[in-house]
């Protein structure tokens, strides 16, 4: 989230699209109700189903799964055509006026630079024209046909209300009504907030779904302001934290990139990370990249990381492919390219697409380790549970270790919520039996490995032998010590650059990342967390809920990254002169000598408005991007592509039906079904009574929603002779689920390109362990293909067939 949960109450329009907050984030959703009651906000819901969020909406419109970009591009077209944008904001704070290279084109569904063979783009033409000083050329009058706003206008011109309706199945009048509501927030003192979740990410165009909305928010001047923003509600209690700390194939802590094969030395690595400003005088904060990397290496390798060995650069693994994501991992397993796999609190047998492929992959491993408080399906993939898990144990040669761990109530530590708050929690009891913490287990494995490498030698032991481990209790390091290591400390006396006086003594915990150096005199394991555990103590444990002006900031409750800033891009809440756009809800303003307000400025605290420094200080141009340059693999503008499994052709460009930059493995492509055999669109989702595959282990939740079902609209049910509560067989090219049907008014057929299109709802929570009744799980049906940028699986739009069947005999 750019903003906070409480800040939602400041919105004038709340859009929930790509999520179902009332059911999946109920206690956060109360702030939407607060906005409705206290601020007169209008709630708009766009969803294939009439969800509980929709049931309290002021306006609801249905949409076919997988067509959000068409809908939102239609909104952009509408806003530009009606001139319903916040002009001053767009002119000053976005790249609308920057001029794009001549070589950039878009024709027949493809951007310039496409390579048919590799299914990827040469993105060199996706950038600005530069002047002789290397700055982006611009035309502030927007007359130049090559400036971003004019290219955008041209790009979205195809998304007429007729076209939107034809693709999405949303009636035109409903679409236009929603456009009007969006447009009402172009006023400088009005804000729309976008609340979204996996309904946007789990598509082959997931990242572009979100980009399209972010562009709308920039056009409306809704980024950085109270009641605005792009708010990813996020799914799990520390999914934000694990992302922040870089537990992803290509990441290091604090959104630093793991090196690639091409970056043969530290200097080569740094060359692509210089972030030279693209306009004069811009902050381009990533220019400090080197300080963050060197400080990370000092945290990881201590005295062994030196200037002479390039801060142990060679000890970092290098990537030869963009990602070793989970879809690729299971592809490798199926191809016999992997031998071991460790699943820590993650249940891929249920949580990943095409469960059959997951089981076949795990079956080819030499060893599997699971670490979990619960008895997961993954740890029992080798056991025969009938049709829900038809495994032939004798044929599976995988050694399996099922390790019991503590749960949240049994450990100290911090979690990062969707609003980037690091909140500390405390242990209430010991774990049952011999269960141990993940910290103890990981340390135990590490110590054994290190000891073996010390005694026996082996492949490249240097990083293993040199990684820092100076914890008071090396067997089970104290979470506070780990938190301090992430925060960082001075390794030598740090002197003030101007006075030469010692500003920070050696050994002192740092106050923030501004103190980090690239000369090896500071260490910080996660630069964006710097400031979370200082000499003043554990800032994450703060519990002062005081909220200045009751505006939903609560600056002294826990601690938020970066720098305890609660609203990202908050410089954009004020106009170029530093006066708040919305005087009733200011966040920061310029008082003549510095920026003051209720939040930590996302800006140099004394940078004058007249200096012309843009509010998006992380970006090299200092501006919000309506044109993404070369930063997305599938285009600098979003474009509607059909899901990999779709009931219709792409009416915009029949030759390019689905995302041309999607990575699809041959066996996965062979497992895509056609609408002839699988005529219905399916989408997966959570129920409010359950959380993934965990709560079926909890008695109350298992009682509340005891068994697997799918939701089917009344029209289709009648057509297929399916009764309320009757048994159905739901099949995709990849598998079959036999379960009960819930016949509902909440899903109605959509008219897509003149044809009636039915949507099947597939709640995801079942499996074959726990206290609920045995089930298959939604991912028996889902396709193994991901978003072109992130490889997040396309769970939200695929094809199935549904038939009436009789009750299973067992």
Partner 1 sequence: MPMTRREFIKFTGLGLAASSLGVLGFGASGVAQAAAVRPFKLTRATETRNTCTYCSVACGILIYSMGDRAKNARSNIIHIEGDPDHPVNRGTLCPKGSALLDIVHAPTRLRTPRYRQPGGTEFKDVSWDFALDRIARLMKEDRDQHFMTKNTAGTTVNRWTSTGMLAASAASSETAYLTWKVVRSLGMVVFDNQARV
Q: Which 534-563 residues touch partner 1, going by CB under 8 A?
A: 543, 545, 547, 554, 557
Q: What is the token pair recorded at 261?
A: 């094969």
Q: Does 56 help bind partner 1 (rule: CB under 8 A)?
A: no
Of 506 and 699, CB closest to partner 1: 699
Residues written for the chain: 810
Rg of the chain taking only CA atoms, in angstroms: 27
Distance CA 470, CA 454 (A): 17
CB of 756 to partner 1, least distance (A): 32
Residue 609: CB atoms within 10 A of its CB come to 17
Pairing relationship of beta strands 192-196 and 13-17 according to DSSP bridges:
parallel
Please tell me whether residue 767 adopts helix, strand or coil conformation. coil
Binders of partner 1 among residues 242 to 301 (CB under 8 A) are 242-249, 252-253, 258, 261, 264, 300
Q: Does 464 help bind partner 1 (rule: CB under 8 A)?
A: yes
Q: Does 241 help bind partner 1 (rule: CB under 8 A)?
A: yes
Query: Please, which residues have CB within 8 angstroms of residue 89's CB and are 6 or more apart in sequence?
Result: 188, 218, 221, 572, 575, 581
Residue among 61, 207, 316, 800 that touches partner 1 (CB under 8 A): 316
CA triple 442-447-451, angle to 5 deg: 150
**CA torsion, ordered 256, 261, 264, 267, to nearest 10 deg:** -20
Of 235 and 387, CB closest to partner 1: 235
Of 170 and 695, CB closest to partner 1: 695
Of 162 and 473, CB closest to partner 1: 473
> How far is the CA of 79 from the CAs of 100, 312, 575, in angstroms?
22, 51, 21
Please tell me whether residue 750 adopts helix, strand or coil conformation. strand
Residue 658: CB atoms within 10 A of its CB come to 22
Secondary structure (DSSP) of 89-132: HHHHHBGGGBBBPTT--EETTEETTEETTTTEE-GGGSSB-B-T
Of 360 and 425, CB closest to partner 1: 425
CB of 689 to partner 1, least distance (A): 5
HSE-up of residue 772 (Cα within 13 Å, Cβ side)? 28
CB of 326 to partner 1, least distance (A): 5
Of 59 and 346, CB closest to partner 1: 346
CB 182 within 8 A of CB 1: no
CB of 562 to partner 1, least distance (A): 15
Residue among 80, 618, 698, 736 that touches partner 1 (CB under 8 A): 698
- Binding residues with partner 1: total (CB under 8 A): 164
Residue 445: CB atoms within 10 A of its CB come to 14
Q: Does 11 help bind partner 1 (rule: CB under 8 A)?
A: no
Q: What is the token pair recorded at 165?
A: 């309706």
Q: Does 446 help bind partner 1 (rule: CB under 8 A)?
A: yes
CB of 239 to partner 1, least distance (A): 5
Which range binds partner 1 by CB under 8 A, 180-188, 438-446, 642-650, 749-757? 438-446
Distance CA 516, CA 276 (A): 20
CB of 305 to partner 1, least distance (A): 12
Distance CA 216, CA 493 (A): 48
Burial class (CB in 10 A: 0-12, 13-18, 19+), 236: middle
Residue among 137, 425, 729, 804 that touches partner 1 (CB under 8 A): 425
CB of 337 to partner 1, least distance (A): 7
CA triple 756-762-768, angle to 5 deg: 155
CB of 6 to partner 1, least distance (A): 6
CB of 654 to partner 1, least distance (A): 32
Between helix 68-81 and helix 148-156 the angle, nearest 10°, is 120
Secondary structure (DSSP) of 530-541: TTSEETTEEGGG
Q: What is the token pair recorded at 348?
A: 């891929």
Distance CA 614, CA 787 (A): 31
Distance CA 101, CA 180 (A): 34
Q: Does 26 help bind partner 1 (rule: CB under 8 A)?
A: yes
**Distance from the first to the final alpha carbon of the chain:** 46
CB of 375 to partner 1, least distance (A): 4
Burial class (CB in 10 A: 0-12, 13-18, 19+), 646: buried
CB of 445 to partner 1, least distance (A): 5
Which range binds partner 1 by CB under 8 A, 1-9, 44-52, 149-157, 630-638? 1-9
Q: Does 377 help bind partner 1 (rule: CB under 8 A)?
A: no
**CA torsion, ordered 296, 301, 302, 306, to nearest 10 deg:** -90
CB of 634 to partner 1, least distance (A): 18
Q: Does 418 help bind partner 1 (rule: CB under 8 A)?
A: yes
Of 149 and 632, CB closest to partner 1: 632
Residue among 356, 387, 444, 604 that touches partner 1 (CB under 8 A): 444
Residue among 159, 311, 382, 559 that touches partner 1 (CB under 8 A): 382
Q: How far is CA 546 from the centre of its chain?
A: 30
CB of 570 to partner 1, least distance (A): 18
CB of 506 to partner 1, least distance (A): 23
Q: Does 238 help bind partner 1 (rule: CB under 8 A)?
A: yes
Binders of partner 1 among residues 674 to 693 (CB under 8 A) are 688-691
Q: Does 237 help bind partner 1 (rule: CB under 8 A)?
A: yes
Of 460 and 577, CB closest to partner 1: 460
Binders of partner 1 among residues 319 to 338 (CB under 8 A) are 319-320, 324-326, 328-329, 332, 337-338
In the numeric block, the tokens 């009757």 are attached to 726
Q: Does 658 help bind partner 1 (rule: CB under 8 A)?
A: no
Residue among 183, 435, 528, 607 that touches partner 1 (CB under 8 A): 435
Binders of partner 1 among residues 702 to 761 (CB under 8 A) are 704
Please tell me whether residue 226 adopts helix, strand or coil conformation. coil
Of 139 and 410, CB closest to partner 1: 410
Residue among 129, 438, 511, 714 that touches partner 1 (CB under 8 A): 438
Q: What is the token pair recorded at 785?
A: 């293909």
Residue among 120, 646, 731, 792 that touches partner 1 (CB under 8 A): 792
Distance CA 58, CA 193 (A): 15
Residue among 68, 127, 354, 411 that touches partner 1 (CB under 8 A): 411
Of 176 and 319, CB closest to partner 1: 319
Binders of partner 1 among residues 181 to 220 (CB under 8 A) are 198, 202
Q: Does 395 help bind partner 1 (rule: CB under 8 A)?
A: yes
Which range binds partner 1 by CB under 8 A, 88-96, 107-115, 432-440, 670-678? 432-440
Residue among 164, 178, 358, 422 that touches partner 1 (CB under 8 A): 422
Return the beta strands (E) in 764-797 as ranges. Answer: none
Residue among 104, 352, 637, 768 that touches partner 1 (CB under 8 A): 352
Q: Does 670 help bind partner 1 (rule: CB under 8 A)?
A: no
Residue among 214, 439, 617, 759 that touches partner 1 (CB under 8 A): 439
CA triple 226-232-237, angle to 5 deg: 115
Binders of partner 1 among residues 465 to 484 (CB under 8 A) are 467-468, 477, 479, 482-483
CB 576 within 8 A of CB 609: yes
Query: Please, which residues have CB within 8 angstroms of residue 16's CB and are 6 or more apart in sequence?
Result: 32, 43, 44, 45, 46, 47, 53, 57, 195, 196
Of 493 and 547, CB closest to partner 1: 547
Q: Does 453 help bind partner 1 (rule: CB under 8 A)?
A: yes
């Amino acid at each position: 989230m750019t903003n906070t949960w409480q800040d939602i109450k400041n919105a004038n329009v709340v859009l929930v699209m790509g999520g179902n907050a009332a059911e999946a984030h109920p206690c956060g959703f109360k702030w939407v109700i607060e906005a409705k009651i206290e601020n007169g906000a209008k709630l708009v819901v766009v969803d294939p189903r009439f969800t509980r969020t929709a049931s309290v909406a002021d306006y609801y419109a249905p949409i076919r799964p997988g067509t959000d970009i068409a809908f939102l591009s239609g909104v952009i077209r509408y806003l530009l055509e009606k001139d319903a944008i916040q002009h001053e904001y767009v002119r000053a704070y976005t790249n609308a006026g920057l001029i794009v290279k001549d070589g950039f084109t878009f024709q027949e569904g493809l951007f310039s630079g496409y390579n048919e063979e590799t299914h990827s783009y040469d993105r060199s033409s996706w950038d600005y024209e530069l002047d002789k000083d290397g700055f982006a050329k611009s035309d502030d009058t927007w007359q130049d046909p090559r400036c971003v706003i004019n290219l955008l206008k041209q790009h979205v011109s195809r998304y007429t209300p007729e076209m939107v309706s034809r693709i999405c199945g949303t009636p035109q009048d409903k679409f236009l009504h929603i456009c009007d509501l969006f447009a009402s927030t172009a006023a400088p003192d009005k804000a729309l907030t976008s609340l979204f979740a996996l309904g946007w990410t789990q598509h082959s165009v997931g990242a572009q779904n979100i980009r399209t909305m972010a562009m709308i928010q920039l056009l409306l001047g809704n980024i950085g302001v109270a009641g605005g923003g792009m708010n990813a509600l996020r799914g799990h209690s520390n999914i934000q934290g694990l992302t922040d700390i870089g537990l992803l194939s290509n990441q290091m802590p604090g959104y630093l990139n793991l090196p690639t094969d091409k970056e043969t030395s530290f200097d080569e690595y740094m060359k692509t990370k210089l972030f030279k400003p693209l306009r004069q005088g811009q902050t381009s904060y990533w220019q400090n990249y080197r300080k963050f990397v060197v400080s990370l290496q000092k945290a990881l390798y201590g005295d062994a990381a030196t200037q002479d060995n390039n801060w142990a650069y060679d000890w970092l693994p290098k990537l030869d492919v963009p990602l070793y994501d989970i879809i690729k991992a299971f592809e490798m397993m199926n191809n016999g390219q992997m031998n071991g796999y460790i699943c820590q609190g993650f249940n891929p047998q249920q949580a990943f697409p095409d469960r059959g492929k997951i089981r076949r992959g795990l079956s080819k491993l030499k060893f599997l380790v699971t670490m979990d408080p619960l008895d997961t399906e993954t740890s029992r993939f080798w056991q025969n549970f009938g049709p829900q898990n038809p495994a032939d144990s004798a044929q599976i040669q995988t050694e399996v270790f099922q390790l019991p761990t503590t749960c949240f109530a049994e450990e100290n530590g911090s979690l990062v919520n969707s609003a980037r708050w690091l909140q500390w929690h405390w242990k209430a009891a010991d774990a049952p039996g011999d269960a141990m913490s993940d910290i103890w287990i990981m340390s135990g494995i590490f110590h054994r490995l290190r000891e073996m490498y010390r005694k026996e030698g082996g492949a490249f032991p240097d990083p293993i032998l040199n990684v820092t481990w100076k914890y008071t209790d090396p067997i089970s390091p104290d979470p506070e010590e780990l938190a301090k290591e992430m925060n960082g400390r001075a390794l030598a006396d740090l002197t003030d650059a101007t006075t030469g006086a010692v500003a920070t003594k050696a050994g002192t915990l740092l106050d923030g990342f501004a103190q980090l150096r690239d000369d090896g005199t500071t260490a910080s394991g996660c630069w964006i967390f710097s400031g979370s555990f200082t000499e003043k103590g554990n800032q994450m444990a703060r519990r002062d809920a005081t909220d200045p002006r009751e505006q939903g900031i609560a600056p002294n409750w826990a601690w938020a990254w970066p720098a305890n800033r609660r609203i990202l891009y908050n410089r954009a809440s004020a106009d170029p002169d530093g006066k708040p756009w919305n005087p009733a809800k200011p966040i920061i303003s310029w008082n003549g000598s510095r920026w003051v307000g209720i939040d930590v400025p996302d800006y140099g605290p004394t940078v004058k408005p007249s200096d012309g420094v843009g509010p998006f200080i992380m970006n090299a141009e200092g501006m919000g991007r309506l044109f993404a340059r070369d930063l997305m693999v599938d285009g600098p503008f979003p474009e509607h592509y059909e899901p990999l499994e779709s009931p219709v052709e792409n009416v915009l460009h029949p030759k390019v039906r689905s995302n041309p930059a999607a990575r699809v493995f041959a066996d996965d492509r062979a497992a895509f079904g056609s609408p002839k055999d699988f005529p219905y669109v399916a989408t997966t989702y959570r129920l409010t009574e359950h959380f993934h595959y965990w709560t079926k282990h909890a008695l109350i939740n298992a009682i509340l929603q005891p068994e697997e079902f799918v939701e089917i609209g009344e029209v289709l049910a009648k057509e297929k002779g399916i009764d309320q509560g009757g048994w159905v067989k739901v099949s995709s090219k990849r598998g079959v689920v036999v379960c009960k049907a819930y016949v509902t008014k909440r899903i109605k057929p959509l008219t897509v390109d003149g044809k009636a299109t039915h949507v099947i709802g597939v709640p995801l929570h079942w499996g074959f362990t726990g206290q609920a009744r045995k089930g298959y799980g939604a991912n028996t049906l889902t396709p193994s293909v991901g978003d072109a940028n992130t490889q997040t699986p396309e769970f939200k739009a695929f094809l199935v067939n549904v038939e009436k069947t009789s009750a299973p005999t067992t």
